[in-house]
Structure 1
């Protein structure tokens, strides 16, 4: 079964880091990526650009509204994702707990809706 691991982090903390600090923070993610790949669990994963460059689209009263930036104002923003294969929710939760983001943000685990 496939699960989406949605990584929510405080973008402002990362933006305040020096390039050296950002590099050190990237190392655990590279190791996590390698572990997922070695286990055959990695389907896809990407880091997202900051939320201030996002665009939000909604339709209200039949009219399309396009807003610069995220719709919700929260401390944590969606910073990236992993799409993984796991035999069950417990295994997906185990992978989420190993994700470096779990130590400084939140990892939301959601099963992919299947039509099969």
Structure 2
């Protein structure tokens, strides 16, 4: 094995050899498969290190603002869709106040206090 980076053809040949009926492998084949596994693990480790370094470089305020902005954008999109649906159905748009909703009708469930 003279090259340090596996070639695409070598990877395809190795995967074909593993899927074939061959039960034993030569020393060179085993060495090449071990090299592929090592190289894949090293690449994954480097990518993980780069991702960690990138996340560490971002300060917490930037991450928080980014998350809060994404949530605000999603809520605005849902509100816009609800307004469009209300307009399509020719009914007034009203903001849902929260609480339990009837599964069949979609109307809020009003809990009545039992008379004691």
Range class of TM-score, shorter chain: under 0.3
**Structure with the bigger percentage of helix:** 2
**Structure with the bigger percentage of strand:** 1
For the pair shown, the structure with the greater C-alpha radius of gyration is 2
TM-score normalised by L of structure 2? 0.27
